[in-house]
Amino acid sequence: MTTTQHRRPSGQAREWTRKAFACFACHDTGIIGNADGLLSQLVAEYDRLPDGRAMAGSDVAVICRCHASYPQQNHDGRAVRGGLREGDGTIRQVMTELGPRALGMEVEIETARQIEQARRKAWKATADSTAIAAAITELAQ
């Protein structure tokens, strides 16, 4: 028997569903990523060197404003997630050899909203196009 990376047709899902998350800006991680380049478009100086050249990874993480960036506790009061922000909303700091350093930076709330709305719209478009493709495939069978 040969091995293959392909699933048998019976094991393939007919419908595509996205992972459930509350915040489309950070996908419930607490950190707004830049994989789609949206953050660089909205914050001109993000991931730029002092001379203006683009350099991915040259800036600190952008901390989201959603619930995922705050500490979370279970029903016993034990920490489930440490959080990137303090309870008062300030970005948490860590002590380094050079003194205290913030875990990241934040963007204007309107910028965070624009990122969230654009990514929500993109997910909806993907889901709609996937549903259309599934319907066409079903009709063809």
Question: What is the reported pLDDT for 18?
Answer: 66
Tens-of-pLDDT digits for all 141 residues of the chain?
A: 566 666 666 655 566 566 788 999 999 999 999 988 899 889 888 888 888 888 888 788 999 999 999 998 888 888 888 889 998 999 999 999 999 999 999 999 999 999 999 999 988 888 777 666 666 666 666
22-27: long-range contacts (C-beta < 8 A, 24 or more apart)?
22/66, 22/67, 22/68, 23/64, 23/66, 23/67, 23/68, 23/116, 24/116, 24/117, 24/119, 24/120, 24/123, 25/64, 25/66, 25/112, 25/115, 25/116, 25/119, 26/64, 26/66, 26/68, 26/69
